């Protein structure tokens, strides 16, 4: 088993260090975020005939941020929520309901 793990790790090292990777692949999260302008949550929503301006307006109305990220509303924990994650999940569910109600469909990239 030790030999299998060793061979696997060695093969990964060879692949990543040999230059066989696609040019332009970023290795840190910051570089990845900067490398693609369409990596924000707003770009996962589509509606036929909606302009980018209209989509941004609808996104902001549904508690998204103007830069396409989320959340755009203040994250306030309700009394029945025991963690901040529950408050975040509530805001996220509300955003999904709002965008769906406006006719947008969520795309899995």
Residue with tokens 């088993």: 1
Rounded CA gap, 67 and 109, in Å? Answer: 19
Condensed to tens digits (0 to 9), the pLDDT of residues 1-40 reads: 677 676 666 665 565 555 544 444 445 555 555 555 567 8
Give the 3-state secondary structure of residue 107: coil
Which of 89, 66, 60 is CA-nearest to residue 77? 89
Q: Which pTM value belongs to this model?
A: 0.62
Condensed to tens digits (0 to 9), the pLDDT of residues 53-76 reads: 999 999 999 989 888 888 888 888
Domain segments of the chain as ranges: 40-109
């Amino acid at each position: 088993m030790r030999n299998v793990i060793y061979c696997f790790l060695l093969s990964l090292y060879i692949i990543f260090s040999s230059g066989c990777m696609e040019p332009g692949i970023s290795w840190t999260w910051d570089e990845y975020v900067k490398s693609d302008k369409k990596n924000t949550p707003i770009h996962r929503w589509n509606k036929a005939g909606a302009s980018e301006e209209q989509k941004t307006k609808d996104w902001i109305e549904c508690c998204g941020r103007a830069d396409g990220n989320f959340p755009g509303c203040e994250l306030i924990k309700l009394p029945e929520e025991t963690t901040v994650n529950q408050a975040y999940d509530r805001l996220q569910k509300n955003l999904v309901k709002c965008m769906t109600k406006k006719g947008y469909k969520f795309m899995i990239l």
